[in-house]
Amino acid sequence: MSNGCLSPPAAHARLQSGALLVDVRAEHERALGMAEGALGIVREDLLKDPDAHLPDRDAEILLLCQAGVRSLACVQALQAQGYRNLASVEGGTRAWEAAGLPMRKPDIDADFSERYSRHLRLPEVGLEGQRKLEAARVLLVGAGGLGAPAAFYLAAAGIGHLRIADDDVVDRSNLQRQILHADARIGMPKVESAAIALSALNPRTRIEPVRERVAAGNVERLLEGVDVVLDGGDNFPVRYLLNDACVHLGKPLVHGAVHRFDGQASVFDAGRRRGQAPCYRCLFPEPPPAEAAPNCAETGVLGVLPGVIGLLQATEAIKLLLGIGESLAGRLLQFDALAMRFREFRVEADPQCPVCAPDRAFTGYPDYMALCAGAD
């Protein structure tokens, strides 16, 4: 032992002779694997009340962290409190495992551990959170400008089941912004092209391609069993229809839209939080006429803009699934790419909203195509 440290083999020998080995890492770190025979006590808890955890100040105690830095600092702090037989394991758990000493590992495969290692190190995600993502089901409507970046990052993050609904085919004009697709797949249905790209990125994510346009007749079937809905469509009828279905079925809806150099994103969660969180119709009570809402094909769009908004949508979806952070529910985030400026606006739940007011009964899905076209 030198400078209060023991090599991992020496520490293992002392453990075999009766010393107490204590892993002082955080719980999410220990969940990924611990030295066999170690007792887990979070460093902050140990230093706050050492007598509650280690009442015998003469016992031989070995402290272990990830790389040896925290455990050595913990040794010094405990020595100042009267502990007399302490040592830190040099190099920590990393060196212990590299030395081939016995480890207690969670029941996860090597691919899972390596692929999601950066998530697993985040206390806000960890092993429990990553398993939540793997069990999650997400509906992505649209495999175009917004859906392409969102789909890539949802699959990369480890979403277990990604249902993608789109009835279009890949066109050369899509490639300027729809990064899921490739020149060699021009003419292929977008959902099939998306499945090829996403499965190559993460074969653990199940891709369910649905070559259909969202309509009143299939919207509830498309939402069946999903945890979060991400709207990557490019037209108002679909936005209103998805909103109504999400309110009716109690699903959070992650909204995104782009126009020329401007984009916006929000979360509409009125289905689960009636009277507290707004829905899309609290923000835009009536669909606009078709001539007031041109699409990208008519007005153009900066190619990188859907990437920015789509990534914001993917971020919000992952946060909702993990139950972390503060979502955009009740807030509309607007992005001006030319000025490189974000602005945020509060959106309140409308107590008179025809869709999400607490006392409002569901009356079916209006014909939004006809409404947007100016029909009766």
pLDDT in tens, 236-290: 999 999 999 999 999 999 999 999 999 999 999 999 999 999 999 999 998 776 6
Q: Could you tell me how many residues make up the chain?
A: 376
Pairing of strands 331-336, 341-346: antiparallel
In the chain, where the domains are located: 5-106, 117-372
Residue pair 153/314 in contact by the 8 Å Cβ criterion: yes
The answer to whether residue 350 scores a pLDDT higher than 60 is yes
Pairing of strands 331-336, 228-231: unpaired
Largest CA distance in the chain: 86
Phi, then psi, of 248 in degrees rounded to 5:
-65, -40
3-state secondary structure of 199: helix
Q: How far apart, in whole angstroms, are the C-alpha atoms of residue 243 and residue 320?
A: 17
| CATH match of 117-372 with 3.40.50.720 | yes
116, 202, 270 from 156: Cα distances, Å: 9, 6, 28
Q: SS3 string of 317-352? A: HHHHHHCCCCCCECEEEEEECCCCEEEEEECCCCCC
Question: Known catalytic residue: 372?
Answer: no
Q: Is residue 296 very low, low, confident or very high in pLDDT (cuts 50, 70, 90)?
A: low
The answer to whether residue 297 scores a pLDDT higher than 70 is no
The answer to whether residue 108 scores a pLDDT higher than 90 is no
Q: What is the pTM of this model?
A: 0.87
Residue 292 has a pLDDT of 59
187, 196, 208, 314 from 184: Cα distances, Å: 9, 12, 22, 26
Q: Is residue 376 very low, low, confident or very high in pLDDT (cuts 50, 70, 90)?
A: very low
Least confident of 212-216, 253-257, 290-294: 290-294
Q: Mean pLDDT over residues 352-367, rounded?
A: 91
3-state secondary structure of 123: coil
Annotated catalytic residue within 65, 279, 282, 296: 296
The 10 Å Cβ neighbour count of residue 304 is: 12
Of 375 and 165, which is predicted with more confidence? 165
Q: How far apart, in whole angstroms, are the C-alpha atoms of residue 358 and residue 353?
A: 9
Residue 165 has a pLDDT of 98
Cβ-count burial of 158 within 10 angstroms (0-12 exposed, 13-18 middle, 19+ buried)?
buried
What is the per-residue pLDDT across 149-207, written as a single tens digit (0 to 9) for each? Answer: 999 999 999 999 999 999 999 999 999 999 999 999 999 999 999 999 999 999 999 99
Residue 323 has a pLDDT of 97
Q: Work out the end-to-end distance of the chain between its first and last CA atoms, rounded to an integer number of angstroms.
A: 86
Pairing of strands 86-89, 331-336: unpaired
Looking at residue 363, the DSSP 8-state letter turns out to be -
Provide the percentage of residues in the chain whose pLDDT is more than 70: 95
Selecting from 3.40.250.10, 3.40.50.10860, 3.40.228.10, 2.70.98.10, what CATH number does the domain 5-106 have?
3.40.250.10
Nearest to 10, CA basis, from 67, 70, 87, 103: 87
Q: How far apart, in whole angstroms, are the C-alpha atoms of residue 357 and residue 376?
A: 24
